[in-house]
Structure 1
Amino acid sequence: MKPLGGEETLDDGDVLAATKLPGHRGAAPSPGPATTPREQPRTTGEAHGQPRQGLAPRIVPRRSRLPAWLVLLRPRQWMKNVFVLLVPLAVDPASLLHHTGRALLTVAAFTAASAAVYVLNDWLDRERDRLHPVKRHRPLADGRVGPLGALLLGAGCLAVPVAGAALLPPGVTAAVAGYLVLNLAYCLALKHYSLVDVSLVAVGFVLRAVAGCAAVAAPFNPALIICVYCTCLLLSLGKRRHELEAVGLRGEAAEQRPSLAGYSVALLDQLMAVLLAATLISYLLFCLSATHPHASALAVVTTPFAVFASCRYAQLVTMRRSGGEPGRDVLTDTPLVINAVLWLAALAVGRLL
């Protein structure tokens, strides 16, 4: 998930998300006019973090100017926790305005919980990361943050949701606890299994959405929750597709993310097509289920924006080899940004009618 200080940092936990492809904006020049990523031999030394002889390294990491302990918490990923606010805003904006304090505290609880998960993930993988050409630059892997200091930092992050539990409704506390348990299992083992990995990522966003509704006492809309799950699963599949294309060969991709051994570009294209349809259907059901006198008109007016957003994302992933960082792709693509502004305007007008 917007580099800080104009630089591309590598604190998001995805080496493949930072890989540059020929034809993609910002891609590094290819080693030769007739050389493609698939044709470049991968040597044993490269697999252990050493650049190929005679060729420039594929990725030249730039160290973040942020303090190492803050990089370990991956602040670029904190934007994901906005999902806590989006669902209540779509279901019942008045409740969100009435309970703004509890909503922001819920965002803080998920931000701290996710930061603790990032610390745990890097702590568990620190030895393996030292052998990786890019992940070796993570604060734990390169020694800028010690193992004990990282554990203390993670414990400090966990103290935030624990303290917030006394101020938040039980439903929010349960959602945060479920998120932590889910990610613990993900870090320890489940991230290595294809389909399971992307499903758990999507469930994490569903827990954020549910917590947001519980925090402000907004109505629970099943269709919208399903839409959130399908959307996030679609984005995760697009990210896996980008990773496979970035490396070129499934075996090489599995060296960097073991779960990629269970995917292929053809399979991911089929799954993404299914998820595109499921996302649009669930969104339409959400519009039609709204307790609003003009719910049908709202669905008719806003569905074209949902269709365009889905199709544009599919175009970015398949035609422009994007999708490595879904958050950045969505926020920096001009057609998607314009579509989102018009979409929100249509929703606002529809609620005022």
Structure 2
Amino acid sequence: MDHYVGPDRLALDVVEGPIGAGRVGAFGAYVALLRPRHWIKGSLVLVAPITAPPAVIPHFAAIAMTLLAFLAASSTVYVLNDLRDFEADRLHPVKRLRPLASGSVSFRGGVALLAALLLGTAGLLVAAPPLVALILGGYVAMNIWYTLALKHQPLVDVSVVAAGFVLRVLAGAVAAGLAVQPLLLICVYCASVALSLGKRRHELADLAVAGARHRPALSAYSVPFLDHVVVMNLVAALMCYLGTMWQLRPPYGQVGAALTFPFAAFHVTRYLQMLMVERSGGDPVDDLMRDRQMRFNLGLWTAVLASTFLASSL
């Protein structure tokens, strides 16, 4: 099936694409350790600024600094996580191909990369606006706690992951000097919880069949339970999305809500189809980037949103 993400395909994703670390050499292995394909998550920093009037342009430097800081911080967390779990990852049918677990990057090399990332992130913290630095510091501290302990706590694990996405949006709004939109933050939180639980559902339903129940927290979940909670959070995200659009400058917000809701609903429905029918969902980033229907829908959605924001700023 075109959209099925089985162990062989997941193995490619673990090393950041169809070319494994053994082919791209040591440099490629270090780059893969940073998980650059997941930097797309940093785009949430731009959500609030791009929905605002052009007046945020003078804040461009602060917004760019905030985006760069979150990219560095997220890679720092990824490297720390792989250093901590590389022994266990070696026993996993998919994660064993990660640079540290496979030996493409030595443990000492991983520690050196982590130290460099920590220094870089610290420098960006100093250069960022004070409130953004506070948010970013909280993000780093929360994710270190997650890596060391919280990721083994059922439901707490996905809540922490979702909070990390919310902090990205919040930091972007602060960097741009914009008022915080609570409904937007709730929308991002609920969507992130749904995607995180969808990932766990995929692991429980597919990888666990092969005896690869890698996350200790999976023992507290079941497929029916996760199905219900994923749907609940996606419905909440859709409602909050409508509310966020509705609050834009009248009448463009209301028009934008009406015009873009079908795209949002299709995206949610397609994701659920991939998760529950096509046994995908192991990597939401992969789903977004590889699935043709979602890419096409996202393109149309973006075009309509851009037209709405442009009209509201005139």
TM-score, normalisation: structure 1: 0.77
Corresponding residue to 2:263 among 295, 302, 305: 305
Deviates more, 1:236-245 or 1:287-296: 287-296
Matches within 5 A, 1:122-133: 122-133=82-93
1:263 corresponds to: 221
> What letter corresponds to residue 183 of structure 1 in structure 2?
N
2:183 corresponds to: 223
Matches within 5 A, 1:1-353: 8-11=12-15, 63=22, 65=24, 67=27, 68-90=29-51, 92-249=52-209, 252-254=211-213, 256-351=214-309, 352=311
For the 8 Å contact 1:9–1:63, the answer to whether it is kept is no
Q: Check 1:137–1:292 CA distance in 2 against 1; reply closer, same or farther (3 A cut).
A: same
Q: Check 1:218–1:11 CA distance in 2 against 1; reply closer, same or farther (3 A cut).
A: farther
2:5 corresponds to: none
Deviates more, 1:184-193 or 1:292-301: 292-301
**Deviation at 1:100?**
2.4
For the 8 Å contact 2:193–2:233, the answer to whether it is kept is yes
Deviates more, 1:148-157 or 1:188-197: 148-157
> What letter corresponds to residue 324 of structure 1 in structure 2?
G
Return the alpha-carbon distance in structure 2 between the equivalents of residues 309 and 298 of structure 1: 16
Structure 1: tracts of 5 or more residues without a match: 1-6, 13-17, 19-25, 27-60
| RMSD over equivalenced CA pairs, Å | 2.4
Return the alpha-carbon distance in structure 2 between the equivalents of residues 172 and 205 of structure 1: 14
For the 8 Å contact 2:30–2:105, the answer to whether it is kept is yes
**Deviation at 1:62?**
7.2
DSSP 3-state at the match of 1:99: helix
**Deviation at 1:194?**
1.6
For the 8 Å contact 1:9–1:64, the answer to whether it is kept is no
Deviates more, 1:146-155 or 1:127-136: 127-136
More helix by share: 2
1:48 corresponds to: none
> What letter corresponds to residue 308 of structure 1 in structure 2?
F
For the 8 Å contact 1:288–1:296, the answer to whether it is kept is yes
Q: Check 1:303–1:110 CA distance in 2 against 1; reply closer, same or farther (3 A cut).
A: same
DSSP 3-state at the match of 1:310: helix
Return the alpha-carbon distance in structure 1 between the equivalents of residues 261 and 13 of structure 2: 36
For the 8 Å contact 1:10–1:62, the answer to whether it is kept is no
For the 8 Å contact 1:84–1:107, the answer to whether it is kept is yes
Return the alpha-carbon distance in structure 2 between the equivalents of residues 252 and 193 of structure 1: 21
Return the alpha-carbon distance in structure 1 between the equivalents of residues 266 and 93 of structure 2: 38
1:36 corresponds to: none
TM-score, normalisation: structure 2: 0.86
**Deviation at 1:158?**
1.6
Return the alpha-carbon distance in structure 1 between the equivalents of residues 182 and 23 of structure 2: 41
Q: Check 1:144–1:349 CA distance in 2 against 1; reply closer, same or farther (3 A cut).
A: closer
Aligned positions, number: 298
Return the alpha-carbon distance in structure 2 between the equivalents of residues 127 and 99 of structure 1: 44
For the 8 Å contact 2:125–2:137, the answer to whether it is kept is no
* Higher Rg of the two aligned structures: 1
Q: Check 1:230–1:156 CA distance in 2 against 1; reply closer, same or farther (3 A cut).
A: same
For the 8 Å contact 1:240–1:260, the answer to whether it is kept is yes
**Deviation at 1:69?**
2.2
Structure 2: tracts of 5 or more residues without a match: 1-10
> What letter corresponds to residue 309 of structure 1 in structure 2?
H
Amino-acid identity (%): 42
For the 8 Å contact 2:22–2:104, the answer to whether it is kept is no
**Deviation at 1:63?**
4.0
Q: Check 1:138–1:313 CA distance in 2 against 1; reply closer, same or farther (3 A cut).
A: closer
